[in-house]
Amino acid sequence: MAWNFFKKDKDKENPEMDINDLVLSKMKPGFLVDYDMKTYQVIGKNYYQWDENGKTLEWELKQGSEVLYLEREEEDGEISWSLSRKLPIGVLEGNIADHIIENEDPPETVVMDGVSFYFEEDDIGTYHKGDNPKGLQFVVWDYSDDRQEKSLSIEQWGETKFDVTVGFEVEEYQFSNILPGAN
């Protein structure tokens, strides 16, 4: 029997991988994706469960020492994407951590690098690393700049641990060359 060049080798075929899986919302750890002329590796896929029944998906993207967080949120049937980075709370002007501990809320306006951010909303949620059903509870306060171009969130984890997340909205078309990689 002659070898058939066009016949698929079933042992080498990956039944889990489909060309339709190469979209942002179906990325898994190990995938590669290009953004802003850089290639990032997906190093984690996490999610936030909000007390008001919402859910935000998060992919950790790494390129060298840089780590970005791509988030997908669906509200009222509309999908939005944002890209952010985490920073220590000390990047904000003033002692915001002490203000939150003393007043149980941050100020209405916070400043980072000379840019003012204005309070918009707060929420309580649970952060889930990977598919872990047990999560960490936290409180988040969301801010935006006066042009509504940048967002800033202050996250409180427990009594005295705080993080700041700074980001902006992105569109799915800004990402390209989504490829499966090694897990």
Tens of each residue's pLDDT in the chain, 183 residues: 454 545 554 444 455 667 777 899 999 999 999 999 999 999 999 999 998 778 999 999 999 999 999 999 998 889 999 999 999 999 999 999 999 999 999 999 999 999 999 999 999 999 999 989 999 999 999 999 999 999 999 999 999 999 999 999 999 999 999 999 765
Question: How far is 58 from 79, CA to CA, in rounded Å?
Answer: 13
CA dihedral 167, 129, 163, 161 (to 10 degrees): 170
The amino acid present at 139, given as its one-letter code, is: V
Looking at residue 13, its pLDDT comes to 46
Looking at residue 15, its pLDDT comes to 52
Question: How far is 167 from 175, CA to CA, in rounded Å?
Answer: 16
Question: How far is 31 from 41, CA to CA, in rounded Å?
Answer: 6
Looking at residue 53, its pLDDT comes to 77
How many Cα neighbours within 13 Å face the side chain of 122?
Answer: 14
Looking at residue 182, its pLDDT comes to 63
Question: How far is 68 from 179, CA to CA, in rounded Å?
Answer: 18
Structure tokens at 28: 């898994």
- 132 has which bridge partners? none
Looking at residue 10, its pLDDT comes to 47
Question: How far is 166 from 142, CA to CA, in rounded Å?
Answer: 10
Using DSSP's 3-state secondary structure scheme, residue 82 falls into strand
Using DSSP's 3-state secondary structure scheme, residue 51 falls into coil
